[in-house]
Each structure stands twice: as structure tokens, then as C-alpha cells.
Amino acid sequence: MLSRHTRPATTADTELKPRQVKFDWSTAPFQWIPGDAFGSHAINHFSFTLVRGELFFCRVFNQALPHVKDAALRKDVEVFIRQEGIHSRAHRDSIDQYLTRYKVDLDSNYRREMWVFEQMLADQPFGIKIPKLLQKQWLTFRVGIVAAAEHYTCGFGQYVLDHCDWEARGANHEVSDLFTWHSAEEVEHRTVAYDLYRHLGGTYSMRALIMLVLAPTFLYLMAAGTAELANSDDEAPEYLKSIYKTAFWRAWLRSTALNNIMSPGWFMTKPINFMLPGYNPVNEGNTAQAQAYISRSPGVIANGLAR
Ligand SMILES: [Fe+2]
Ligand SMILES: [Fe+2]
């Protein structure tokens, strides 16, 4: 194992690059995975978290850039910001051009995410001004939150690449490609946030503490967001509209058995690796597998930028 002093600033195993994408949202159905209303809404609800969350990543990383002293890491961070900006816009378009067609209530679906990313984790959380002496610590803490979130997005991405051949099973190809292309780029840039966290001097104890809080928060956001989106669907069964019904959780397990979404247990056990002292995100995903999908992604090819 490399120590903090012998490990290079960047541990990426590939050169990153941003890719524009193009999707046609004119025909995607609300239940885009045939026979799985839970899986359809569970995957689509991520768009609300990603739009707000990834803009937060970009804001925090732009603030961190002046502190990056290593040229290779700086380039990784710059491309990361551009990739996440493209991801956020692609999901915003899917909401504006696709989900709103099904009378989805934007305010109620964005509410939790705005509270987390634009109030609690703002430069001035809930309007409280951080003293100058603690501003670098507050920045490092928030980069640590991004690193923990990226552990999940990489895990989600690798799961999708390994299990979710949605399109082959008759799912809508645009939604399938949006989430599979995004998954692949999450796997591809999985090292950047954690490398930046280390470069800023982030500690092991802060990292472990962040994940202990984030793991149950993510599970709650996942369940509540799915139920919120199902509430807009007249054809979804009533039990999908409340996380307090046991049938909701049974539907989740059924969706996992169909290889459409990770299980609730996955959300609780995925953090373990992140909390191990020797954690290295490069070991959490398969870059070649990710880039193989990117090279055949219709959304990427539409812009002629496939690798
Ligand atoms: Fe992303
Ligand atoms: Fe990411």
C-alpha cells in the first residue's frame, strides 16, 4: 500500500475527457422499464439529485482549484468539473423535456436536494458565515462529501454496467442510455474526488465520519425520492407512493431481483470499503468496461465524440 507521501497526487488510470451528448426525449414513457414501475421511478428520481448535486460538485471543485498544486491533478479536476456539468445539464433536460410531460411536480421533487445542497452545504450554511480561519476546513469537508458521494456514483455505475442491460430487456433506449452513459463516466472519473480530498489534507477520521452520516441519508433520499416520483404516476400502484408500506420495500427487492436497481442492503454495505484505511477508488470499478460502453453510447455518438 502506498502511503500518503509516496502515493501520486492523481491515481486515475486513464486520461479523462468531457463528452457532449444528445438525447431525444419526445417518446420516452413514464414507466420506461416494462413491468417494473418501482425500477422506472427509482432510476428516474436520481435525475433530481444529480441536477442539484452535480452542480454542487462543480461549485465546490471550482473553489478548490486554486489550492491544487499538482498539474496532473489540476487537469483531472478541471475535466471532472466539465463532465459533471454536462451530466447535470443532461439530467435537467430529461426532467424538463420528458418528466414534466407526465405532470411531475418539480418543486416537491427538488425540495430535499435543494435543502441539502443549497442550504446545508452552502458556502454559508443556513446563512451562517464561516470564520476565515475555518473556510479551508469547510471546503475540505465538502470535498470529502463529494468523495463519499462519488464512491456511491461509481458503485452505482459499476452495478449498472454489470447488471442493468435495460435496453436488451425492452426498456426505453433514451433513458437507458442516459443512465448507462452517465454510469460509465462515473466509473471512469472515480478517483478524482478522493485524490482531491487527500491533496487538500483531508483526514481518515473526517472521511469515516462523513460516510457514517451520508449512508443512511442516501438510503432515505433514495426511498423518499422514488415514492415522490411514483406519486405523479396514476398507473403506479398505491403502495409505491409511501415508504411506510411494507409492499414498497417488497417492490424494491423485486426490482433488485430483476437486475434493475441495487438493493436497500447495497446502500448500507457499500460504504464499508470507503471507510477502510487503505481505500483506493481505482479498485472500485473497471475503466475498460466503462469506456467500451461510452464508445457505443448512442447519446455520445450523436455528438461524434466517442472514444
Ligand atoms: Fe456525474
Ligand atoms: Fe461523478
Are the C-beta atoms of residues 143 and 197 closer than 8 Å to each other?
Answer: yes
> Which pLDDT belongs to residue 303?
80
- Asked if the structure places residue 32 within a domain, the reply is no
- How close is the Cα of 182 to the center of ligand 2, in Å? 8
d(CA 143, CA 203): 12
d(CA 212, CA 201): 20
> Which pLDDT belongs to residue 113?
87
As residues whose CB is below 5 A from the ion ligand 1, the structure lists 84, 87
C-alpha count within 13 angstroms, C-beta hemisphere, residue 269? 5
- How close is the Cα of 182 to the center of ligand 1, in Å? 6
- Asked if the structure places residue 11 within a domain, the reply is no
In this predicted model, what pLDDT tens digit does every residue of 228-242 receive, in sequence order? 999 999 999 999 999
> Which ligand is nearest to the Cα of residue 87, counting in written order?
1
d(CA 53, CA 63): 16
In this predicted model, what pLDDT tens digit does every residue of 184-197 receive, in sequence order? 999 999 999 999 99
Q: Which residue type does 211 have? A: M
- Asked if the structure places residue 7 within a domain, the reply is no
Our count of domains for the chain comes to 1
d(CA 95, CA 289): 28
Residue 307 has pLDDT above 50, yes or no: no
- How close is the Cα of 96 to the center of ligand 1, in Å? 18
pLDDT band at 3 (very low <50, low <70, confident <90, very high): low
> Which pLDDT belongs to residue 6?
67
- Asked if the structure places residue 168 within a domain, the reply is yes
d(CA 75, CA 200): 16
- Asked if the structure places residue 19 within a domain, the reply is no
- Asked if the structure places residue 306 within a domain, the reply is no
pLDDT band at 1 (very low <50, low <70, confident <90, very high): very low
Average pLDDT over the chain, rounded to whole?
94
Return the closest-CA partner of residue 285 out of 163, 154, 164: 154
- How close is the Cα of 192 to the center of ligand 1, in Å? 12
- How close is the Cα of 219 to the center of ligand 1, in Å? 19
- How close is the Cα of 118 to the center of ligand 1, in Å? 18
- How close is the Cα of 165 to the center of ligand 1, in Å? 20
Residue 248 has pLDDT above 90, yes or no: yes
In this predicted model, what pLDDT tens digit does every residue of 34-92 receive, in sequence order? 999 999 999 999 999 999 999 999 999 999 999 999 999 999 999 999 999 999 999 99
In this predicted model, what pLDDT tens digit does every residue of 96-140 receive, in sequence order? 999 999 999 999 899 988 999 999 999 999 999 999 999 999 999
**Neighbour-count burial for 48-69, b at 16+ CB within 10 Å, e otherwise:** bbbbbbbbbbbbbbeebeeebe
Are the C-beta atoms of residues 32 and 224 closer than 8 Å to each other?
Answer: no
- How close is the Cα of 190 to the center of ligand 2, in Å? 7
> Which ligand is nearest to the Cα of residue 85, counting in written order?
1
Q: Tell me the pTM.
A: 0.94
d(CA 39, CA 14): 32
Residue span of the structural domain in which 211 resides: 37-301
In this predicted model, what pLDDT tens digit does every residue of 256-271 receive, in sequence order? 999 999 999 999 999 9
> Which ligand is nearest to the Cα of residue 89, counting in written order?
1
As residues whose CB is below 5 A from the ion ligand 2, the structure lists 153, 186
- How close is the Cα of 128 to the center of ligand 2, in Å? 28
H helices within the chain, ranges in order? 37-64, 71-97, 106-115, 135-163, 173-188, 192-199, 204-230, 246-257, 264-269, 271-274, 287-296, 298-301
- Asked if the structure places residue 9 within a domain, the reply is no
E strands in 53-168: none
- How close is the Cα of 153 to the center of ligand 2, in Å? 6
